[in-house]
Structures are given as structure tokens and as C-alpha cells.
Structure 1
């Protein structure tokens, strides 16, 4: 942690950062009236300006390490926010066993409506278990965080329910790996055993860091699922997944990406996430298969849909991991590349002006799900 993460330096930096960006905003508005001056010629002026604003926000937030406070209070989600207790201890195996990090009670949000086992036919639903992005350091799975994403999936992918856990964050005490994987298992166990939703009616989904977590849960189910009575899900959707934690621990890697100028992700955000998710001295390796699925593919019976943006810094990694999983006999992988799109439009499409593209990729994911189910 640097000096900027402590008061009063944090407050002073924040004040100066806000002042700086307010002086830059009119300049961006003026420059981006010229199409050739925009980071990507296919973007509108509004998209180009919004991208610059988000990039600046993430850079400054990373510098001062803004904390996301997690609470188990219902908040404005009210009855749609539910408390999920840990599964029996025997369900947590292998990489989830840690002397300092234990399974915990977490919250989760149902978007628009909660699944009700008393009235909903579990054999006729499509439930999405979605893990939010945010480099493992920000986000909470609530309406303010994933509301656009969840509503987009409900409308365009034509699923019936979206369930978004508030998993522990590595920016908070006790939030390093394997806290998030423990919470993912807790969430999946809740859907399978508490709510009695059949595994084939569940889609595991994740954007960015949430995509990394979705990969880890899929690996866990492929490795330990049979022995802990957790069958593999019917489908998986991975949106701009973050698949190389190790690379992010060296800030220069993002800066050297061919797509760096057309994305809002910067080196500080990934570095903050990587070094808190797997801190130095923790005894873990960031190249571990459980943390970095790139170059560590595995066999799975779950059909996988991967979406990435052609203009995002994770594009090359996402192409590689799709190819690596395809090479394993029995794996079913579909890759969708969205032209001109930056990182994670399914999560931030409304914020940066890519709502239409977000709806389109959600529709494709829904079609993939139904096509694969029809083969059963």
C-alpha cells in the first residue's frame, strides 16, 4: 500500500484528481468532435468521452485503493437480497482449504424477482449464477453494480432469473484467494441443494474478474464435483474474462497491449487486483491453474460461451484461452468477438454507451444456451 492510500494524502489526491479531470473534460469534448482524433474511429463522440472518464476514474481509484464496503443489510434490494450460509465443511476441498480463510456467510441479489421454490417450477427455469467483475477489488453484485447486466440478460438472453453473489473482495481484510472460490461454491450449493434447482437449468456466468472466478468454479466442479455432490451446470458464459492474474502483477504488460489506447483498463487497476488477490508472501503462485486459467485448460462437460471485445486489452488472452479449451477433446466452446468493443460491455455498456452491443451479445449467449440444451 502506497502513501496515497492513507489520510490525509488520500483526500488531497482525490481533490486534485477531481480538479484535474474537470479541466480535461471540455478538452476531450472538443477534441472528440473530430472522428479521426477519437481512440477508435468507429466510436461516437459520447463513447470516446465516456471511455476517457471511466479510464481516469479507474486509474485514480486504483492509486488511492478505494474500498468497497460490503454489508449483509438488505438495502434497497429489500426481499431480493438474500443471505447465503456456507455449505457443509465437507463440500470445500483442495484449493479452498486455507488455515486463515474460511467459508463465510455472504449476501446475494436476485434481479427483478427472486426464485421461489414454492411457486416456481424448478424444471422450467433458466437461472444465471453471475459473478461480477472489478479486478476482485470493487463491486458488490447489487443493483447499483450489476443492474444493467442482469436486466440485459433477462431481456435479451431470455433467462428467467439472475442471481449475483456479493463475494468477498481482495481489497478488504481476509479477502484474498481462496475467499472468492469458497463464496462461489457456497452460492452454487445454495442453488442446487437449498433451492433444489437442477444443475442443467443453471448457467454459471462471470464478467472480467468474475469470468476468472467462473473458470475456477468450473474447474472445481470438474475436479471435485462428484465427491461433494455438485453436478456440473448446463452452461457457462464468460464475458471478457480475466484469465492471466500473473501477467497483471507486472503493470507494463497492459500498457504494451496493442489495444491499450482503445480500452479503459489501465495497469494500476489490474496490478491492485492481482497483488491483493494473491499477495506476495501468501505461499500462492499467481500462475496457479486455480488463479490463471490461461495455459491451464481442463476438460469439462459444460458448454462454454466466451465473449471478448476486439478493442480491449484482454482480447488476445481471451482468443488464446478459447483455443486452448477447444483443443481438449469433449469440450464445447463458442467464441464471440465484438467489433470495436472495449472491455466488459455486458457490465458497463450503459456507462460507456455500448447498450446495443451488450444486448446483442446477451442474445447470442441465450441462443447458445438453448442450442446446447436442445442437444441433450
Structure 2
């Protein structure tokens, strides 16, 4: 891309900072007046941060930023572990569809009491498959999971499509590796809660589908699905609630280009687009959606489809004023209270299983 390498990258970074600063007085003014806010019930902070997140994602997409991934624990010490792929017999079907994409070592961050004998959340972070990391951007999600859902949570640093050989099906391979890591560590499936937000929600759904399709792994106790991108293709044409969602088309285009390896993979296929491809799962699912996010309509349709499959248990929670992925950005965009309420409801769902 034009701005993805120097010297144009440096010039664009400078431009993006200056342009955002120039627009800031207008953004603040709009945020101060309830009548001008994208939603009249939003607060000043929610409006301001939604607009700034739009700016951030727009410029990140233009730059095609890279997120370095390494296995060095650094200050995390024993709380950052290396996951080695399981037996190759675990990776079959769709996971072998691209010969150049093979299971590999990944890192993973522990939150909470990693030595607890209680339940554990295996959470896949969001970021459109192109940004995000378990120790930084996803820290809020990890802390919420370990505080409200289970005594401990493991967040894998799965391969990102913005890096070489990180496109589909690399992330799904890594989800299988992470799940097998917990099982081989002696944690029974009935103590494991799968969770994922946004792109991570797509991974969680894909993992459940893979378990159902291949029958090589036991089903986890529950799955928590946060703001799932149920239909990737049509969302680019969906302008519903555009002003109330920070997901801009430039970022979605980058995400899809990277994850599909510039269109080499059909995004309508079941492991990318759950909508229209329902499946049976032994695992009870709890789905959280923002009422004014771009993915709302398609997520609701997917939930309806999944509920119609005999044997499925799918519970839905819609946060009326919420936009996309409160689990990932709730601490910075003014929806912290709503995010905490949601994880408490998720725990209540797990208790009822």
C-alpha cells in the first residue's frame, strides 16, 4: 500500500496527527451538544471516544500497521507462556486447506490465578484479525474475564493476518492449539469456557464448528460470543448506525483483504461467515451484541438460525446503547459500566448450565 512503507509512512503519520488535531474542536463541540450526538442518550465521553476511535482505525488502515509478535515473556515472566502445536492429527479438514499455513508456536497471556483448579476462560481478542495483542490491547478483556467469569483466563496471541503467513486459516489453527494446550495441561473440557470478541468471536464460533465437524476434541462447557461479525461480505454495504459505530469501512476492507489473502478465500464459506451456515453444537452459547453497532442485524439473524438447530442452546443479550465490542474498548469509550454488567450476566448464564 502507498503509505505502508517509509518515507511516505512517516509523512502520513504526521499528517494524520495534524488532521485529527485540526478536527478536534469540531469533534468536541459535537460531543458537547446532545442534539448533535450520534445517539441522543450517549454521554459526552461516549461520543468523543467513538469519533476518535473512528479516526484511529481509519488511519491504521491507511498505514496497514504491523503488530510485532514474539514469544519473549518480558515483564510478564511466568504469566506469558509458549503454546506448542498439538499432534498434527488434530489439524484436519479446513485447517489443511492452505499448504503454506501450518500450526506453529504462539504466545499466550495468563490473567487471574493461573494455578487455580477452577474454571478457565480461553478468550480470543478482537482487532479485525490485523491488530491487537493479549498483553496490551486485550488487557481489559482479560482482567474482566478473570474477575467476573472465572478465576483465570488465558488469552492467546494468535497469528495476525497483517503479518506474513497470518491469513486464513492460521488463526483457527492457533485456536485449536490453545484449546488442546489447556486439555493437555490436565484441564477437563467441562471446566473450559470459550470466549471471543469481534474477530475473536469469529474464532470462537469457528472453533466450536471445528469441534462439531471433526469430532477430535471434546466440547467446552460454554461459549461467550461478543459482537460477532456474522456476515462479513454484506457488512461493507451496511450503513446502518454508521455514526454510532467506530468501525469504519477502510478498516473493514483492510481486515477482509488481509484475512482472505486479498480475496483468495471465499468469505461466504462457513468458517468465515456463520450467517447462513448454522451448525449443531453441544456447547451452550451466550451472545452479546451492541444495539447500535454495525454487526447487530446480522448477529441477531445468526442467533435465530442457531436457535433453530435442534439441540442448540443460544442466549442473546443486546446492550441497547452499545456499539461494537464493549469487551475490547469499553474501558476507553465510556461503556465500562455496560461492559462490567455484561460479563456478570455472562457468568450468570454459565452458572445456569
* Interval of TM-score (by shorter of Structure 1 and Structure 2): over 0.9
Task: Deviation per CA, 1:92-151: give whole Å up to 9, x if none.
Answer: 11011131000000000001332x3xxx43xxx110000000000001211x22111121
Structure 2 equivalent of residue 137 of structure 1: 130
Structure 2 equivalent of residue 106 of structure 1: 106
Structure 2 equivalent of residue 246 of structure 1: 233
Structure 1 distance, partners of 2:170, 2:300, is 28
Task: Deviation per CA, 1:138-197: give whole Å up to 9, x if none.
Answer: 01211x22111121222233x11110000000010000111111100000000011x111
| Number of aligned positions between the proteins | 352
Q: For residues 352-367 of structure 1, what are the structure 2 equivalents within 5 Å?
A: 352-367=333-348
The correspondence for 2:244, drawn from 248, 255, 262, is 262
| Cα drift, residue 281 of structure 1 | 5.9
Q: CA RMSD in A?
A: 1.2
Structure 1 equivalent of residue 178 of structure 2: 187
Are 2:257 and 2:263, in contact at CA under 8 Å, matched by a contact in 1? no
Are 2:256 and 2:262, in contact at CA under 8 Å, matched by a contact in 1? no
Structure 1 distance, partners of 2:30, 2:197, is 31
Task: Deviation per CA, 1:52-99: give whole Å up to 9, x if none.
Answer: 111100011001111101011002322100001000111111011131
Q: For residues 39-50 of structure 1, what are the structure 2 equivalents within 5 Å?
A: 39-50=38-49
For structure 2, the residue ranges without an aligned partner over 5 or more in a row are: none
Q: For residues 81-92 of structure 1, what are the structure 2 equivalents within 5 Å?
A: 81-92=80-91
Question: TM-score if structure 2 supplies the norm length?
Answer: 0.97
| Cα drift, residue 44 of structure 1 | 0.9
Question: TM-score if structure 1 supplies the norm length?
Answer: 0.91
Matched, 1:155 2:185: no
Structure 2 distance, partners of 1:323, 1:311, is 18
Structure 1 distance, partners of 2:261, 2:102, is 17
SS in 2 for 1:357: helix
Structure 2 equivalent of residue 199 of structure 1: 189
Q: For residues 1-376 of structure 1, what are the structure 2 equivalents within 5 Å?
A: 2-97=1-96, 98-114=98-114, 116=115, 120-121=116-117, 125-142=118-135, 144-157=136-149, 159-193=150-184, 195-225=185-215, 228=216, 230-247=217-234, 251=236, 253=237, 256-280=238-262, 282=264, 284-372=265-353
SS in 1 for 2:233: helix
| Cα drift, residue 16 of structure 1 | 0.6
For structure 1, the residue ranges without an aligned partner over 5 or more in a row are: none
Structure 1 distance, partners of 2:145, 2:63, is 33
SS in 2 for 1:111: strand
Does the C-alpha gap of structure 1 residues 350 and 281 become closer, same or farther in structure 2, counting only changes over 3 Å? closer
Structure 1 distance, partners of 2:88, 2:7, is 43
